[in-house]
Structure 1
Amino acid sequence: MSDAAAAFIAELKRWRDVRGFSQTALAKAVGYTPSYVSKVESGQQRPSMEFAAEADTQLQAGGAIRRAFRELMAEGQEASPSRPSVPADQHTTSLIVEHEDTSLHYDGHVYRATQRRRIYNDSADPITQYLIRISVDRHPGDPERSNQLYRANPLTWEEIDLSASVGDEPITWQVRYDRDAFKELWLLFENDEGRYPLYPGESAWLEYSYTVSDEKWGTWFQRAVRLPTKRLSVALDFPAELAPTVWGTETTMTAMGGPFRNPIQATTTGDRRVFSWSTDDPPLHARYRLEWKFRHQSTKETTLTPTADTASARMQSVGIVQEGDPILTSPARLFSLPDEAEDARRVVAELHSAADRAATQHPFGKGMGIAAPQIGINRAAAIVRTPEGEAITLFNPRIIEESGDFDEQYEGCLSFFDVRGMVPRPLAISVEHTDIDGHQQITIFERGHARLVAHEVDHLHGLLYRAKMRPGVEPIPVSEYRGTGSQWSYESRRS
């Protein structure tokens, strides 16, 4: 598949995701069959001009899909017999990354990323260029909000202040794609004074740095392994006064996302707090994502500003969205599975990471659950951890049947954890949900498991447990609650 074809497919999928269209929904909107859309996105079918134009209109892409189509057509003309194409060095050579080391420095307003790669030419041809991408997302999990931000205030070359070098020589670059939220370019191993190809069997350090303000940079940084790599290391350098906390998730082609296999190390020197992490021999196509929260800063920014010694403040400090944020009262956007399997795995990994952090703040004797909106991601995913140690993952869940028997017990919510509320729930529920491969499932949950699952399903429909309490009943302060650390009692209840 050519670069232009891959770029067109990526643009089409991106706007489908932004607008919440499945392949079938897009096909219906543009007047083509679902099979045609599927073949276009898999690279088996070259798109027509009419399809590209109609998809751009229906997805409200503002011309982005049309531009990607024109670049695809231009590539085809360049590769025609009348205009022979010039093969890119990167396509005819192979590289091994002996060490990739990335550092991210934040001064309280601006991020400066520096990426250094020790690259080895494992081919028979000299290498004269290297493809890089600078991509930002201020609101991961909420593409519409991010796109509105970057359409109104796009990432510019002036603010990026890009610099690059190979060995000790500064080098130039050639822009390939210039989008509102990402830039893709070839680093050229040359400058006005000479050329510096990397010959077969040679190694050299390739370095580049760029700057992005925190108004456009989200609190995450991801490394994807696209070349054989022997060692990968990352350092995040933050002001200590912001009281940063950092966690990481990794996703591979063969495994659902989960926490880093080895811990992130943290040190404080003067007024800086540095978090460092590394791994050896990462598998191809693995993705390593670091995320962070600034506890001092987040207390100011959220609607709810609990005092530092409350249960809600502790949950807030580990990244749990608090009551008052609109995301908690809005229905979460459904996943289109298996098309969005990679996104779904990433969200689940982030949910487990958040659950691990919450578990350091409180004993969860009844089990616990957390829904994607509670970590700022407007997608229909939730996890439940039962008291027995079982992990339940739910995508697009909805309760389709309830038992006639109910009971009423106290519940807590991570998003307003200073109180406990007496909530009536059915003793058994049937939940329809989707697995990662797109298959519909129906699972029956009973008693405590039913209560945990129902609580999270409510979150994904924009409901907090207050809405389920009986009229006139109010939550009690957690200081008055006597059930912390124990399971719900069902011994004397009929199922």
Structure 2
Amino acid sequence: MRGLSQSALAKAVGYTPSYVSKVEGGQQRPSQEFAEQADRVLSAGGALRRTFAELESHGRPGATVPHQHSAEHQAADAQPASLIVKHDDAELFYDGSTYRATQRRQIYNASPDPITQYLIRISVDRYPGSPERSNKLYRENPLTWEEISLSAKVGSEPIGWRVQHDRDAFKELWLLFENEYGRYPLYPGEAAWIEYSYTVSDDKWGTWFQRAVRLPTERLSVRLNFPADLDPAVWGTETTMTAAAFPFRTAIQQAAEADRRIFSWTTDDPPLHARYRLEWKFRACPNHEEASPAMPTSASEKMRSIGIVQAGDPILTGQARPFDLPAEAEDARRVVAELNSAAERAAGIHTFSKGMGCAAPQIGIDRAAAIVRTPDGETLTLLNPRVIEESAETDEQYEGCWSFFDVRGMVPRPLGITVEHQDIDGQRRITMFEHGVARLVAHEIDHLEGTLYTAHMRPGVDPIPVSQYRGTGRTWSYEGSTTQP
């Protein structure tokens, strides 16, 4: 969440990168000094110190894997690789103040051994675009077991659980296929439904619901059940192992039932490690935390209301910090997911006939990541990009920027650029872009280098008010072409 690489953390706490890597990977037992220093540097609110205390309480000598339990559980504390999810069905119900998540999974045991437990995770993030704000919230008001009110069952039998991790905003636990009346193991070749549900108040739950595919899954379905009088708007994005993020491939279905609005979405055979994120806004609730307290009037105010950093913020004039890939692949995926979420919000308030782009600094994240969506609907993900070659031919077209969207500026740019960038696995790529896509890509790379388009405008030429701009709703024009490539 802090965005630090292992090297950066090592330097801050006075240890070697190798030591940090081994601690994180479970090959090295951390020292108390390291735990205290890391907790301070990462502003973890005591979470790392508590983890160290838990580890020490087990009294195990030598290098061990953190968070394992006593000897009888060591072999069991891993989800069976041969477990298959036939159907993962989730519903989120909101009553105006509290969310209740209910998750049902039909699991099939393809292993030669009986399965007696199942790992689940409960994670909340009220402000996903602002880690500092979220951390402060949960340090001061941690998620408690009492408020979660967790219940679980396998088939029709209520079951218990054993806690694996207990953090301020994150709970991980094993559902145990047993209760006071007996044990209900899932034998080889058998299938069973497990169900669990929990509640979280809306002051700790952000306006998003994510499903992660951690086991081979044949069918995934999600429903969001909201009060109709809140006038909810829902959209979704998918993020894969390649860090590519894009809108759901199939539409979210909407239905009205009495005073409720129900949004449903289903996919078959989702790829392993894919993440499906649904987000929403309550348009009829101006006092909602994530909504603007007053109806925005100008184009820039509308962008500010959906979380776009506006001109004047120092983050827009600094060099964005590159990712250390593949070591920081998970951080890169999170940032890309936030960028696509911002793009979905922007698409809800403006039509982008020329395509659109968003760079991480524009949503308050100082990392070298950007996305571009072309007029054809293709989404380009750019990690650590830099322009390595420009064409001699240039042209001049109007551009707009979400960070000062009340004006449009005439900007000269090369007709073609060559960009070096990285895949999520660290592989370096070189891609050539032309015409309108080149302009979009160049604009976003500028943001990562702390440059706004006004720096490229000819001397004496100023941006014009958007009210005077006549290019809205049309693509950029090029000789012999009326559309972008």
TM range (shorter): 0.7 to 0.9
Number of residue pairs matched by the alignment = 468
Corresponding residue SS for 1:150 = helix
2:18 matches 1:32: no
- Mapped to 1, the partners of 2:368 and 2:79 lie a distance apart of 43
The answer for unaligned runs of 5 or more in structure 2 is 64-68, 481-485
The residue aligned with 1:487 is 476
Corresponding residue SS for 2:327 = coil
Residue identity in the other structure for 1:95: L
Aligned partner of 1:184 among 149, 169, 172? 172
8 A Cα contact 1:164 1:170, kept in partner: yes
- Mapped to 2, the partners of 1:296 and 1:372 lie a distance apart of 29
8 A Cα contact 1:79 1:85, kept in partner: no
TM-score between the two structures when normalised by the length of structure 2: 0.77
Show CA shifts across 1:54-106 (max 9, x none).
434443434433433344455573999xx982136565965332222110011
Residue identity in the other structure for 1:245: A
The residue aligned with 2:483 is none
2:52 matches 1:85: no
8 A Cα contact 2:213 2:273, kept in partner: yes
- Mapped to 2, the partners of 1:191 and 1:384 lie a distance apart of 52
2:369 matches 1:381: yes
Corresponding residue SS for 1:86 = helix
How far residue 342 of structure 1 moved from its aligned partner, in angstroms, is 2.9
The residue aligned with 1:420 is 407
2:270 matches 1:282: yes
Corresponding residue SS for 2:203 = coil
- Mapped to 1, the partners of 2:314 and 2:281 lie a distance apart of 18
Identity of aligned residues (%): 67
8 A Cα contact 1:125 1:199, kept in partner: yes
Show CA shifts across 1:346-387 (max 9, x none).
433553465467557655454432223555656442223456
- Mapped to 1, the partners of 2:447 and 2:352 lie a distance apart of 19
The answer for unaligned runs of 5 or more in structure 1 is 1-16
2:113 matches 1:130: no
How far residue 265 of structure 1 moved from its aligned partner, in angstroms, is 1.4
Corresponding residue SS for 2:276 = strand
Residue identity in the other structure for 2:296: P
More helix by share: 1
How far residue 291 of structure 1 moved from its aligned partner, in angstroms, is 2.0
Show CA shifts across 1:218-268 (max 9, x none).
122122222332222111111223332222222333563333233221212
Corresponding residue SS for 1:204 = strand
TM-score between the two structures when normalised by the length of structure 1: 0.76
- Mapped to 1, the partners of 2:34 and 2:303 lie a distance apart of 48
More displaced stretch, 228-237 vs 198-207: 198-207
8 A Cα contact 1:175 1:185, kept in partner: yes
How far residue 112 of structure 1 moved from its aligned partner, in angstroms, is 0.7
Residue identity in the other structure for 1:306: P
- Mapped to 2, the partners of 1:22 and 1:257 lie a distance apart of 23
Aligned partner of 1:64 among 25, 36, 47? 47
More displaced stretch, 460-469 vs 116-125: 460-469
More displaced stretch, 207-216 vs 347-356: 347-356
2:246 matches 1:263: no
8 A Cα contact 2:235 2:344, kept in partner: no
- Mapped to 2, the partners of 1:84 and 1:357 lie a distance apart of 47
- Mapped to 2, the partners of 1:444 and 1:126 lie a distance apart of 54
- Mapped to 2, the partners of 1:92 and 1:337 lie a distance apart of 27
8 A Cα contact 2:316 2:361, kept in partner: no
- Mapped to 1, the partners of 2:242 and 2:253 lie a distance apart of 27
Residue identity in the other structure for 2:13: V
Q: CA RMSD in A?
A: 4.4
